[in-house]
Amino acid sequence: MRLPELPATEFRRSAGRFPTGVTVLSCVRDGQAHGMTVNAFSTVSLDPLLVLAVLGNDSLTTRRLLAGGGFAVTVLSARQEPTARAFADRARARDGSLFDGLAHTPAPVTGSPVLTDGIAYFDCAIDAVHPAGDHTILVGAVRAFGPLSEEPALLFSRSRLGAEPDPASAPGSPK
């Protein structure tokens, strides 16, 4: 039995109904900071500590992330929508200047930029790389991590960015 061919736009529309968090993956290569917005990010394992990100193959930043031994992941807060948009822009600067004016600090192990206005970070060594169609699955071995704030997370769903719901206003929550 063959399934009818389904257009990629319909697949993307259906998959887009699954809300995801929004991150910026960053690295330093040849003394310059690089970063990109990624919403395909997940934890993988507690023993050992592993995370994964799915990166588009046509991205120069993907090639830079894969060319070195380590990277950082910053989980963005709802206040960082402009940051998410800047690091997702295909026409963004490639010279590290995107980090100018953004509060950031070197990750403790890899030295990759961590955006300190985020809500959490993971400092990772590359553990594995798996081809996956027009994307690459990057598995990171977590070397350092931590919370950065209690702000609500930035979410992506139905091609829109927005804040996670306030748990205090959820039905049945204590007032």
Can you give the pLDDT at residue 75?
Answer: 97
Write down the pTM of the prediction.
Answer: 0.86
Report in angstroms the alpha-carbon separations of 171 from 153, 155, 167, 175. 19, 20, 9, 10
Whether 29 contacts 64, CB under 8 Å = yes
Can you give the pLDDT at residue 174?
Answer: 60
Can you give the pLDDT at residue 121?
Answer: 98
User: How many residues make up the chain in this entry?
Assistant: 175
Number of C-beta neighbours around residue 20 at 10 A? 17
Can you give the pLDDT at residue 61?
Answer: 92
Can you give the pLDDT at residue 25?
Answer: 97
Give pLDDT tens digits along the chain (175 positions): 556 667 777 777 776 666 678 999 999 998 999 999 999 999 999 999 999 999 999 999 999 999 988 999 999 999 999 999 999 988 777 777 889 989 999 999 999 999 999 999 999 999 999 999 999 999 999 999 999 999 999 987 666 666 766 666 656 656 5
Of 170, 140, 175, nearest to 152 by C-alpha is 170
d(CA 69, CA 63): 12
Can you give the pLDDT at residue 95?
Answer: 74
* DSSP result, 41-53: EEEEEETTEEEEE
Cβ burial of 61 (10 Å; 0-12, 13-18, 19+) is buried
Can you give the pLDDT at residue 2?
Answer: 57
Whether 24 contacts 39, CB under 8 Å = no
Can you give the pLDDT at residue 168?
Answer: 63
Dihedrals phi, psi of 97, to nearest 5 degrees: -70, -15
